[in-house]
Homo-oligomer: A and B are copies of this chain.
């Protein structure tokens, strides 16, 4: 079993060490192992759990909910249904958010098209004026 230091774990996920310490304090990284000097040791299991935490964070699940999910994992098999329900609900929340972003982006695209058009028109007028000057 390979163990990683906090700096290695942080580098692996491209996040600051301070965030990892913060996550542990919030209960998102329970049962952390330590070496004799008190330094955190990230096992493969911890790395996998951290990956899950980061996926949930990437999809905007609040820390309090991630915590609830982690607590259910610690509780064992009896919470399987709760975890499944939570992930299913979260999935729908994420799909809704992606849909909203996609929809809003369409409106922004209209702006892009219009700005491009207006800038192009202005260039054409310039060109026309230059020709009239001839």
* CB-defined contacts of A54 to chain B, threshold 8 Å: 104
Asked whether B87 lies within 8 Å of A115 as measured between CB atoms, the reply is yes
Per-residue contact bits, chain A 28-65, to B (CB 8 Å; 1 contact, 0 not):
00000000000000000000000110111011100000
Q: Report the copy number of this chain in the oligomer.
A: 2
CA distance A56 to B87 in the complex (A): 28
Asked whether B58 lies within 8 Å of A101 as measured between CB atoms, the reply is yes
Majority SS at the chain A contact face: helix
Asked whether B112 lies within 8 Å of A80 as measured between CB atoms, the reply is no
Q: Does A119 contact B (CB under 8 A)?
A: yes
- Mark out the residues of chain A between 84 and 111 whose CB falls within 8 Å of any chain B CB in the assembled complex: 84, 87-88, 90-91, 94-95, 97-98, 100-105, 107-109, 111
CA distance A95 to B105 in the complex (A): 9
